[in-house]
């Protein structure tokens, strides 16, 4: 799966997700840090990448309607420490059928995973 990590996620996830067989790039690597969400979104879509983020600006499914984009995973943890984020995302991609998340809106919390699929 092609993945773009937003700047609000630990860089260690590049190695973690790559080791699981994913093609991963980051907002930081592409010099998009601090840029508007629209620029990050466009870069992810132009590259055909699933965007993994903690940014609630990407949570509006009216704006980011499933089926109209490459996919979004919104990670929402009560304690979003670096280690907690790395561990949750690692487990998420290890244990779940991530190949089915293309074009979906996915919300991952500590204990739940909600997937909104295209209509």
The confidence score (pLDDT) of residue 103 equals 97
Which residues constitute the domain of residue 96? 2-116
The confidence score (pLDDT) of residue 89 equals 98
Pairing status of strand 113-116 against strand 105-108: antiparallel
Mean pLDDT by 10-residue block, N- to C-terminus, for the chain (119 residues)? Answer: 97 98 96 94 97 96 95 97 97 92 97 95
Domain tally, the chain:
1
The number of C-alpha atoms within 13 Å of 101 and in the hemisphere containing its C-beta is 24
Q: Which domain CATH number covers 54?
A: 3.40.50
The confidence score (pLDDT) of residue 119 equals 87
The confidence score (pLDDT) of residue 11 equals 96
pLDDT tens digits, one per residue of 9-20: 999 999 999 999
The confidence score (pLDDT) of residue 99 equals 87
3-class secondary structure, 80: coil
DSSP run (H or E) holding 24: strand 23-26
Q: Would you say 77 and 85 are in contact if contact means Cβ atoms under 8 Å apart?
A: yes
């Amino acid at each position: 799966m092609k993945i773009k990590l937003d700047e609000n996620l630990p860089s260690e996830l590049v190695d973690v997700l790559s080791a699981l067989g994913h093609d991963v790039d980051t907002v930081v690597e592409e010099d998009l840090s601090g840029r508007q969400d629209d620029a990050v979104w466009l870069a992810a879509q132009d590259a055909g990448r699933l965007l993994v983020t903690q940014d609630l600006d990407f949570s509006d499914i009216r704006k980011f309607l499933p089926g109209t984009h490459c996919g979004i995973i919104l990670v929402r943890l009560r304690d979003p420490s670096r280690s907690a984020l790395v561990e949750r995302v690692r487990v998420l991609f290890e244990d779940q059928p991530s190949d089915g998340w293309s074009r979906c809106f996915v919300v991952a919390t500590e204990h739940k995973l909600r997937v909104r699929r295209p209509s």
